[in-house]
Amino acid sequence: MHRVVCLTGAANEAQAATASEYLLKTWPTTGQDVVSLAEQLIAASQGESVQYQIPEPHRADILVSVRQDSVCPITITGRPSLVAEIIEELAWLTSALSTSPPHQDVTTNDITVIVPRAADLSITSSEDYTSVVMRASCRVRFASERLAIDTATNGFCWSSLLDSATMVSGYPILNRDEYVRKSGLEVTLVIMSHLIGSNELVKFDDMIILKGSSKLLVTTSITESTVTWHLLSRR
């Protein structure tokens, strides 16, 4: 969870972050709990049930059944707003960790965009003299679209950095300054260095270069808060 790089956003305005980093920043109240739950699920065997309890003051009880088929039953008990938040996180995480088949056309890079959606929503309620109990059920389905991207198009050069990547759409990313909107992928220097396979920065004339074995990153602009790079790839 701390090492898996996930993509969120749109092809010309995406954000790359580790799974745990995105969960913690986007859902600070329950993000760490979902990270811990996911780590338990990864270690669980098929057919096993995993129980997790979010402590007070945000108390919630989660039960997940790990099955062999594509259906994963999840039961969450807690306040409605908290239950909805946890479902949002699990839907994002499931989408972000999905795999995409390799592309065939060497002139383009394929990105699979996944949009999780709730379906078959049912809500019932019952009450007694002291409380009201609500029960809701739904299925989370994952719509996907495969995009073939030409890396020569402005704002899309980064796609060759992550061949056959999967990206989650419909979730928030970090705000950007106006002049760098629709400019491609936002990523930390640490993750970028790992993806390109090099951590050595070289200054050439007025440019800073980060060179990997088959890829080259060149700075195009530098401000106090942002460094913009252009990616060149050799196939």
pLDDT tens for the chain, residues 1 to 235: 899 999 999 888 899 999 999 999 999 999 999 999 999 999 988 888 999 999 989 899 999 998 877 788 999 999 999 999 999 999 999 999 988 765 555 445 778 899 999 999 998 988 877 788 889 999 999 998 888 777 667 777 888 787 778 999 999 999 887 777 777 899 999 999 988 888 888 888 888 998 888 888 999 888 888 888 988 877 6
Rounded-to-integer distance, Cα 51 and Cα 74, Å = 10
CB 109 within 8 A of CB 184: no
What is the rounded CA–CA span in Å between residue 219 and residue 229? 4
State the Cα–Cα distance between residues 63 and 61, nearest whole angstrom.
Answer: 7
| Contact between 149 and 11 (Cβ < 8 Å) | yes
The pLDDT value recorded for residue 50 is 94
Q: Specify the 3-state DSSP secondary structure of 213.
A: coil
Tokens representing 66 are: 């790990």
- List the one residue out of 184, 160, 27, 153 whose CA is nearest residue 93: 27
Q: Output the pLDDT for position 25.
A: 96
Contacts 24+ apart (CB under 8 A), 219-224: 223/177
Residue 133 and residue 86: Cα distance in Å, rounded? Answer: 19
CB 29 within 8 A of CB 189: no
The crossing angle, in degrees rounded to 10, of helices 31-43 and 19-26 is 150
Which residues face 207 on adjacent strands? Answer: 204
What whole-number distance in Å separates Cα of residue 100 and Cα of residue 34? 24
Tell me the pTM: 0.87
3-class DSSP state of 185: strand
Residue 62: its H or E element: strand 60-65
